[in-house]
Amino acid sequence: MQNQPMVSIIISFYERLEHLRCCLDSLNFSAGDFDEVVITDDGSSDETVIRLKEMIPHYNFTIHHVWQPKNGFWVAAARNNGIRHAKGDYLIFFDSDFLILPDAIKYHLKLAKSGRFVAGNCKYLTEAQTDSVFNSNVSPEFLEKLYQQLPEKEMIKDHRRFIKRTILFRLHLKNRRKQSLGGHFSIFRSDIEYVNGYDENFKGWGGEDEDLGIRLVKAGIYGRSVIRHAKILHMWHSKEIGNKHWKDGPNINYFTRENVDFFCKNGLRKTIP
């Protein structure tokens, strides 16, 4: 991408400091591809925040930590908080349990285009593989070896499905509710501001990413896939709500509301009474 804009990495975080440490370690291998990291914290404890701030100076790239009071699981609000504090014109969203392989960010930037978003996916590490990450020096070779140990078949299928869905969306032949942002995504700030960011009516686990994807497509901002090329590993951790699917959780009624506008009122800018 010519004339690369300022790039901000926004990492959503809560309490999992060891996961975050490994995530930041993996970003060392892409440090020339972005300008800053914003860790947006959904109310971690004072002890965790102290330890996190002690960790930040060990990295050779700019890191900002922003925090919001704990009010249940509220990642939609945390991500909006990250957007507000980010200085970049182009925003890449990761979670703190991601390991970012070299060139993953380059692939996001290669496909970056105004009026589009870029979506990727992850391969999921087992508990044993994640323990090996915690107990090893994270290196590009080590991450690539882990990535190659996991099957590629589903990534290929997801990539093809994503492209097919996008074509059908643009032809108005598929319901917008089938859009998904995948495991990680990126977008120009102006485009996510156009739909007013994440809808903060999503509280509790799940639905906020799907809702944003639907509203982006409704606004004519379609997706581009880096599923095959932007390599990301998802570190194992216990599930917050057991094995319950998010569609069995508290947000499903709001998610399935009628006549969803692309611009949410309870988002980056508050337009609700």
Q: Say if residues 189 and 183 touch (Cβ distance below 8 Å).
A: no
**DSSP structure class, residue 163:** H
Q: How far apart are CA 209 and CA 198, in angstroms?
A: 8
Residue 210 lies in a domain: yes
1 pLDDT tier (thresholds 50, 70, 90): very low
Instruction: Give residue 273's pLDDT.
Output: 57
Question: 210: domain CATH number?
Answer: 3.90.550.10
Q: Which of 94-98, 122-126, 200-204 has the lowest mean pLDDT?
A: 200-204
Higher-pLDDT residue of 71 and 132 is 132
CA 47, distance to chain mean position in Å, is: 25
pLDDT, position 92: 98
Q: Which amino acid is at 70?
A: K
What's the predicted TM-score (pTM) here? 0.93
* Average pLDDT of the residues of the chain: 91
What are 2-21's pLDDT values in tens digits?
578 999 999 999 999 999 99
Spatial distance between the Cα atoms of 269 and 271, rounded to a whole number of angstroms: 6
Tell me the two tokens of residue 165. Answer: 């869905």
Assigned domain for 77 exists: yes
Residue 183 lies in a domain: yes
Query: Is position 111 within any domain?
Result: yes
Q: Give me the domain span that covers residue 229.
A: 7-255
204-249 pLDDT tens trace: 777 899 999 999 999 999 999 999 999 999 999 987 544 456 566 7
Please, which residues bridge with residue 246 across strands? none
Helix (H) or strand (E) holding 252: helix 252-255
Residue 263 lies in a domain: no
- Which one, of 79, 145, 153, lies nearest residue 121 by Cα? 153
Residue 153: inside a domain: yes
Measured distance CA(256)–CA(1) in Å, rounded: 37
Residue 20 lies in a domain: yes
**Does residue 125 form part of some domain?**
yes
Upper half-sphere CA count for residue 160 (Cβ side, 13 Å): 6
Partners of residue 40 on adjacent β-strands? 12, 66
* Contact present, 112 and 8 (Cβ < 8 Å): no
Dihedral sign, CA of 157, 158, 159, 162?
Answer: positive
> Could you give the percent of the chain with pLDDT greater than 90?
77
- Kindly report, residue by residue over 47-68, the tens digit of the pLDDT: 999 999 999 999 999 999 999 9
Q: Are strands 184-188 and 116-120 parallel, antiparallel or unpaired?
A: antiparallel
Least confident of 23-27, 113-117, 175-179: 175-179
List pLDDT tens digits, range 164-195.
Answer: 988 888 887 777 666 677 689 999 999 999 99
**Model pLDDT, residue 256:** 82
The β-bridge partners of 185 are 93, 119
In the chain, the number of structural domains is 1
pLDDT band at 151 (very low <50, low <70, confident <90, very high): very high
